[in-house]
Structure 1
Amino acid sequence: MVTGHDLPTTTPTEAGLDPGWLNSAVVTIRERFPHVTSLLVARDGHLAFEQYFGIQQDDPQDLQSVTKSVGSLLTGVAVQHGVLSVDRPVLEQWPEAVTLTRDPRWQRVTVGHLLTMTSGLPSEITDPVYDEAWFHDADPLRFTLGQTLSTEPGQAFHYSNAGVHLLGALVSHRVGQPLEEFAQEVLFTPLGIPSRTWMADPQGRVWGSGSLHLTPREMLRMGQVVLQEGRWHSRSVVSAAWIQQMTRPRVKGYAFMEGMPDYGWLWWLAGSGETPGWYATGYGGQYIAVFPALRLVVVMTGQVCDHPNHRSVIVDLTRQVAAADLS
């Protein structure tokens, strides 16, 4: 069902896309990537291709860590409102949390460190025992702040769910309302997104690091906002300055995760030899991919389980579009 907030539709041909290639991509997905659940392509602000595999158009999907990239947008709005600073230490902006820390180096952890995953917290990706202890703690935020940092703040990238959950709690504290209410007010409602499932920790805080659910079309709107430097229709939802800063390469991430070595503010950057672009990614093959030079947004979703990575479909699509533009 098309709503007033959905992107207007067009045909692949009118959007400069090759219908034959797209049909071949669907065959490839069915044969090689049976865990894919959707593929949507928008160009020049128009939905040009939409295919679902085992789900319906209006079925919200578990975004997993794509939630982190949405959290970056919310952080940008809080900064724009003047209630949060990227460069100031977290504990200066949340003095009540000081008593939860033991390691004095927490005094030097900034919002920027949380955005680039360089706070010094260990990574749940490489330490499953730590991951289990953090996720199942009665108060994951208290658990996080009580950790001894594994490196000096700003020294090294450690993919950290706990750090992004802390960032979400900080944004909530600074704006004076639950993170999900703030998100609904400043981002979701302007994009026509109703209240959606967003799972919470044992203390009732929604997970800043994951578990937000959106439909693929709603994900596409999110990507379009990023492509349009924070604008949706005639309204500025997130500042253009934040989008520009958010998508700059800031640190080398874990290339083994997605084959993308560079990380911005909770967004990945396309790898060397690929079409320049920005990715919000999540476990199980959840993607919002934005390619400014091609005026292109691609969304893919997948079953939340281990299965072959299907980002190659997006990479191949961008190459096909870029080649067509040059011909």
Structure 2
Amino acid sequence: MKTLRRRTVMAGAASALALPALPRSGVARQGGWAQVRDAASRYRQLHAILVAHRGETVVAEAFRGSGLDAVANVKSVSKSIVALLLGAAIDRGVIQSVDSRLGDVAPQLIPADADPRVRDLTMRDLVTLRAGLERTSGPNYGEWIASDNWVADALSRPFVAAPGGRMLYSTGSFHVLGAALAEAAGRDLLTLTREWLGRPLDIQVPAWTRDPQGYYMGGNQMALTPRALLKLGELVRQGGQWQGDQVLPEDWIAASLTPVTRSPYSGLGYGYGWFVTQTRRGRLALARGYGGQIVAVAPDVGISVAITSDPTQPARSGGYFGDLMALITDDVLAVG
């Protein structure tokens, strides 16, 4: 077995977040954070983990993979990022409200032969995965991305539930949302991500997959460093604030972390692009991507967690994802 190259930032060392250090009372937790690192090291699928507690980076470890400063495919964590961009668009008046209809925001996206109900889909329906259209994820994913027009394909699918009804996990819904944001703003999704999140947080956002019409994929395939993911977690934990600036509206973050539906697979609640649940230490919000890519935020105890994992292996609720949830709730939150 090869010896793993490990990169560690201990509590009390220079914080990657460049935020004020904790009072000396926080140093007593060093042993606990070491136990978190040891627990994380046991999962062969896990590449990197970072934990911030009340603004200080207390764990920063890359067991395998490319390290803490190289980009990783964050898979469906992209959905949670697009949801944050929707909040930024509403705050800037690019889109009037979360209840704005697709037919008003970006009518040019709607195929001529689409069901008339497609025009009335709201931004809320899309960002909460309650559009009601047949899913493009799971067994339908390959067929969808093989189509010559991803937006039209997603919007031409039959309704299998009422709009605003039950949750239907579908990358197509977020791809439509991302395209609508681009059309409303007159700039592509990459530019919006860089301007509205990348610039204020001082993170690099490389280009990612585009569809045949040139729309950047909404809901999958973004690539960010683990350190950038931790900054996004801290932004959410602080109610949209970053280093004294209100980057995103506080009420949008609050709504994002308020469940409006529930995943039929994990049982977790779902708000505006974020999974949400209650733990013994309070609220926990999750951005979750295939393979075990995670941004976790526990605002009641001041903790943010970023995890990257092998993107080629599944992470199901009863398997590796369940292990990661236990790591967060039983180990990380117990120390915090």
**Common fold, TM-score beyond 0.5?**
yes
**Alignment partners' CA distance in 2, 1:99 and 1:201:** 16
**How much does 1:40 deviate?**
0.8
Choose from 205, 220, 224 the match for 2:215. Answer: 205
What residue number does 2:335 align with?
Answer: 321
TM-score by length of structure 1 reads 0.89
Confirm or deny: 8 A CA contact 2:209 2:216 kept in the other structure. Answer: yes
How well do the aligned residues superpose, as a CA RMSD in angstroms?
2.5
**How much does 1:9 deviate?**
7.8
Distance 1:76 1:3, change over 3 A: farther
Distance 1:175 1:14, change over 3 A: farther
Per-residue Cα deviation, 1:269-301 (whole angstroms, up to 9, x for no partner):
024656312111111111111111101111111
What residue number does 2:198 align with?
Answer: 188
Choose from 213, 220, 225 the match for 1:215. Answer: 225
Gaps of 5+ in 1: 323-327
**Alignment partners' CA distance in 2, 1:142 and 1:12:** 54
What residue number does 2:129 align with?
Answer: 117
What residue number does 1:325 align with?
Answer: none
What residue number does 1:291 align with?
Answer: 298
Choose from 67, 72, 76 the match for 2:78. Answer: 67
Confirm or deny: 8 A CA contact 2:107 2:119 kept in the other structure. Answer: no
Choose from 38, 41, 46 the match for 1:36. Answer: 46
**Alignment partners' CA distance in 2, 1:236 and 1:195:** 20
Distance 1:199 1:15, change over 3 A: farther
Distance 1:154 1:161, change over 3 A: same
Paired letter, 1:280:
A
* 2:85 pairs with 1:78: no
Q: Identity of counterpart residues, as a percentage?
A: 27
What residue number does 2:30 align with?
Answer: 19
**How much does 1:67 deviate?**
0.7
**Alignment partners' CA distance in 2, 1:240 and 1:57:** 29
**Alignment partners' CA distance in 1, 2:332 and 2:16:** 25
Paired letter, 2:124:
G
**How much does 1:59 deviate?**
1.2
**How much does 1:253 deviate?**
1.7
| Deviation larger for 270-279 or 287-296 | 270-279
* 2:250 pairs with 1:240: yes
Choose from 154, 173, 177 the match for 2:183. Answer: 173
Confirm or deny: 8 A CA contact 1:171 1:179 kept in the other structure. Answer: yes
**How much does 1:225 deviate?**
0.8
* 2:104 pairs with 1:97: no
Per-residue Cα deviation, 1:89-112 (whole angstroms, up to 9, x for no partner):
211222223444421221321110
Confirm or deny: 8 A CA contact 1:220 1:297 kept in the other structure. Answer: yes
Gaps of 5+ in 2: 1-8
What residue number does 1:132 align with?
Answer: 142
